[in-house]
Amino acid sequence: MSKQRIFVPLDSAAVALGADDVAAAIVREAAARDLDIEIVRTGSRGMHWLEPLIEVEVEGQRVGYGPTQQSEVLSLFDAGFLEGADHEKSVGIVANLPFMKDQQRLTFSRCGITDPLSLSDYQAHGGLDGVKRAIKLEQSDIVEVIKTSGLRGRGGAGFPAGIKWDTVQGAQADQKYIVCNADEGDSGTFADRMIMEGDPLLLIEGMVIAGLGVGATKGYIYLRSEYPIAARILNEAIEVAKSNKLLGDDVLGSGIAFHLTVFIGAGAYICGEETSLLESLEGKRGLVRAKPPLPALEGLFGKPTLVHNVLSLCAVPWILANGGDAYAEYGQGRSKGTLAFQLAGNIKQGGLFETAFGVKLGDLVNKYGGGTRTGRPFKTVQIGGPLGAYLPEQMLELPMDYEVMAQNGAGVGHGGIVVFDDTADLMAQARYAFEFCAEESCGKCTPCRVGAVRGEEVIDKIAAGTDYDQNMVLLEDLCELMVDGSLCAMGGMTPIPVMSAVKHFPDDFAPRHVREAAE
Amino acid sequence: MLDLDLTLRERLGMEKIIQEALSGHVGETGGLITGLRHVQERCGFVPSETVRIAAELFNISQAEVRGVISFYADFRDKKPGQHHIRLCVAEACQSVGARAIEEDLLNRFAVRMGETDAADFVTIEPVYCLGLCSCAPAAEVNGKLIARVDGQRIADEVVS
């Protein structure tokens, strides 16, 4: 009989909730019982409220137990969990849970299922189909597939990927680069981290295809230093890819080279901005560059560079394998395909939910997220990271769609959704938006560098009731200036959380003494 | 301990460590930043001598090296305390009480945010997102990630 396999996530969220201890306890207990088992460390399924979620395979189906603590391992063995027996922590067949069943997982199809470092596992689940197809195509045909898919940059800006690819492909240069922006610094987002930890070969395949498509032979993954587990997994996956000729001088016998390196950042939110990222990758201060020139024409070391977010690149293998048209069938309007929504903050069922664009924000928060974790009334949701809008309950009806959100003064961003209950103070959140901007501004342009600090001061005056009316006007004026005058999205979008808070939660902006009197 | 009153022998030893940590990254893409990280891994912080040594090795000005060190939050100019806490204070963690945890920790350890206590026991630094937003609040204690924390849980981790 072959070894019984037990699947335990290595995902940071699972580890932060005790997965390593659970894995060690399983090994100890199995040894004590003289059982021949193998622990397979996988990514996370994305149901983080069930982490650590351990799984066993029974008659070809994965049965899950979670959230599991180290102290429960003994009782799991006693109950017979290796045969999928019932236990108070049993969740049944994982794929049949409503949270999993209702998803449309194109990018995260393998995450939580396969061994992230096993190329044979990867291939058995559809891996490498995309790159094999790409090898047979001309550069321009690859670019055409991306255009047809309607894929837009998943990092937040939503710029059409096909146009970028076209520009880089058409540029003449002795060296071009693919740069993956894995500086996932937005609070409320962790999808990049999850896929890098749970299915790193997908990102590698996506970058190889991008290289083939635009004629780039070198790639870099710019990874934030806050993700040590992702760093380890990516580096190990690169070694696996090298030894299997997915990376190297001759990618899968195509005669085309592609080399990939992980670069670790050093703690700067601004380096998620693509030009700042490029400066940092060159070993300098992460100061934002003025555009033009576009990085697609003059990027890393002045060479044409395709800069993409992790999830944009991870969508590519599926698109190549299944066709641009097939991808474009998902979603609505000009928002094609799927997005990995991240349910975060004060939410009962936090985690990752991948589905086509058009899903209602309220369904993500309530139907799948289960509402607030504290059980208190919902107050607001911030979507799209620290530079995203705070929306009130009546806007939960909106579909997640780039254009619809933009019309409503918000943005889909990277798909991060942070829920707050009624204890949230939106004036404090608005002040924090300025505080964060002041902390993380690169300092190159004045509206951002100085505006952020002035913003904190103005809000403090509003809170104190000092020249209240004038300062409310001043706040709006300052925000307008930051939007119009900032060099990049850091200063240009900090006003979004601030002004959305003012607009939707005016009561929170009453002076402190008025609010205290009202309570 | 690397301290202000280093002997000449210690100083030379440290210079050698810095040299070694940096020299492998000259000519590498983004090599200065990777090199500085290695210096910090070896020394616990980035000693001031690094500026001169890196400028010579990478053939750039000392001002440029200083500029890079000061730009990135990861680089420290002194050794942290015996225990190192990084508490996430970004929005998702705020929504489930990160601010209260911050206050609790600062009181418990009698320290200010971003600083080390008088006994060099603990350093507490803010971090803007550890990517654990679905199981917030989150922290990192001595390199170990922990989620759904409170002040007590973090304190337990420190003394464990």
**Which residues of chain B make contact with A235, given a CB cutoff of 8 A?**
none
Predicted local confidence at residue A167, as pLDDT: 98
Residue listed under structure tokens 């971003």: B114
For the segment B120-140, the average pLDDT, to the nearest whole number, is 97
Look up the CATH architecture of domain B83-159: 3-Layer(aba) Sandwich (3.40)
| Residue B100 Cα, gap to closest chain A Cα (Å) | 13
- CB contact under 8 Å between B135 and A51, yes or no, is yes
Q: How sure is the predictor about B5, in pLDDT bands with cuts at 50, 70 and 90?
A: low
* Residue of chain A with shortest Cα separation from B131: A190
ipTM beyond cut 0.90: yes
Looking at chain A, the domain(s) classified CATH 3.40.50.11540 span: 119-328
**Which residues of chain B make contact with A187, given a CB cutoff of 8 A?**
88, 90-93, 128-129, 133
Looking at chain A, the domain(s) classified CATH 3.40.30.10 span: 4-101
Predicted local confidence at residue A240, as pLDDT: 98
- Three-state secondary structure string covering chain B: CCCCCCCHHHHHHHHHHHHHHHHCCCCCCCHHHHHHHHHHHHHCCCCCHHHHHHHHHHCCCHHHHHHHHHHCCCCCCCCCCCEEEEEECCHHHHCCCHHHHHHHHHHHHCCCCCCECCCCCEEEEEECCCCCHHHCCEEEECCEEEECCCHHHHHHHHHC
Coil vs helix vs strand at A337: coil
* Residue pLDDT, tens place only, A63-93: 999 999 999 999 999 999 999 999 999 999 9
B27 at A interface, C-beta within 8 A: no
B55 at A interface, C-beta within 8 A: no
Is the domain covering A119-328 a CATH 3.30.230.10 domain? Answer: no
Q: Which residues share a beta bridge with A351?
A: A47, A343
- CB contact under 8 Å between A185 and B73, yes or no, is no
Cβ-based neighbours of A385, under 8 Å, separated by 6 or more: A156, A186, A187, A188, A189, A413, A414, A416
Select the residue of A228, A261, A346 nearest B95 (Cβ to Cβ). Answer: A346
> A187, A218, A383: which to substitute to probe chain B, counting the most B Cβ within 10 Å?
A187
B114 at A interface, C-beta within 8 A: no
B113 at A interface, C-beta within 8 A: no
Predicted local confidence at residue B4, as pLDDT: 56
Beta strands in A315-442 (DSSP E): 331-332, 335-336, 338-345, 351-356, 378-383, 390-391, 416-421
- CB contact under 8 Å between B130 and A12, yes or no, is yes
CATH topology of domain A426-518: de novo design (two linked rop proteins) (1.20.1440)
* Residue of chain B with shortest Cα separation from A47: B134
**Rounded-to-integer distance, Cα A471 and Cα A460, Å:** 10
**Which residues of chain A make contact with B146, given a CB cutoff of 8 A?**
16
Measuring CA to CA, which residue among A146, A306, A71 is closest to residue A211? A306
- CB contact under 8 Å between B91 and A13, yes or no, is no
Per-residue pLDDT tens digits of chain A, which is 519 residues long: 578 999 999 999 999 999 999 999 999 999 999 999 999 999 999 999 999 999 999 999 999 999 999 999 999 999 999 999 999 999 999 999 999 999 999 999 999 999 999 999 999 999 999 999 999 999 999 999 999 999 999 998 899 999 999 999 999 999 999 999 999 999 999 999 999 999 999 999 999 999 999 999 999 999 999 999 999 999 999 999 999 999 999 999 999 999 999 999 999 999 999 999 999 999 999 999 999 999 999 999 999 999 999 999 999 999 999 999 999 999 999 999 999 999 999 999 999 999 999 999 999 999 999 999 999 999 999 999 999 999 999 999 999 999 999 999 999 999 999 999 999 999 999 999 999 999 999 999 999 999 999 999 999 999 999 999 999 999 999 999 999 999 999 999 999 999 999 999 999 999 888 888 877
Residue listed under structure tokens 């000449």: B8
Residues in chain A: 519
Measuring CA to CA, which residue among A332, A333, A330 is closest to residue A318? A330
- Three-state secondary structure string covering A395-425: HHHCECCHHHHHHCCCCCCCCEEEEEECCCC
Select the residue of A48, A185, A226 nearest B134 (Cβ to Cβ). Answer: A48
In the CATH scheme, what is the code of domain A4-101?
3.40.30.10
| Residue A505 Cα, gap to closest chain B Cα (Å) | 16
* Residue pLDDT, tens place only, A461-489: 999 999 999 999 999 999 999 999 999 99
Select the residue of A187, A268, A282 nearest B90 (Cβ to Cβ). Answer: A187
- CB contact under 8 Å between A281 and B136, yes or no, is no
Q: How sure is the predictor about B1, in pLDDT bands with cuts at 50, 70 and 90?
A: very low
Q: What ranges do the domains of chain B cover?
A: 8-71, 83-159
> A225, A418, A498: which to substitute to probe chain B, counting the most B Cβ within 10 Å?
A418
- CB contact under 8 Å between A265 and B72, yes or no, is yes
B150 at A interface, C-beta within 8 A: no
Predicted local confidence at residue A280, as pLDDT: 98
- CB contact under 8 Å between A345 and B136, yes or no, is yes
- Side chain identity at residue A103, one-letter code: Q
Does the pLDDT value for residue B2 go beyond 70?
no
Coil vs helix vs strand at A332: strand
Measuring CA to CA, which residue among A443, A134, A150, A411 is closest to residue A269? A443
**Rounded-to-integer distance, Cα A315 and Cα A159, Å:** 14
Predicted local confidence at residue A250, as pLDDT: 98
B120 at A interface, C-beta within 8 A: no
**Which residues of chain B make contact with A228, given a CB cutoff of 8 A?**
143
B145 at A interface, C-beta within 8 A: yes
Select the residue of A189, A283, A440 nearest B133 (Cβ to Cβ). Answer: A189
Select the residue of A48, A226, A285 nearest B130 (Cβ to Cβ). Answer: A226
CATH assignment of A331-421, given 3.40.640.10, 2.60.40.2550, 3.10.20.600, 3.40.1190.20? Answer: 3.10.20.600
Predicted local confidence at residue B8, as pLDDT: 75
**Which residues of chain A make contact with B88, given a CB cutoff of 8 A?**
187
B96 at A interface, C-beta within 8 A: yes
- CB contact under 8 Å between A185 and B128, yes or no, is yes
- CB contact under 8 Å between A386 and B143, yes or no, is no
Select the residue of A16, A184, A386 nearest B135 (Cβ to Cβ). Answer: A16
> B66, B96, B103: which to substitute to probe chain A, counting the most A Cβ within 10 Å?
B96
Residues in chain B: 160
Select the residue of A184, A373, A419 nearest B131 (Cβ to Cβ). Answer: A184
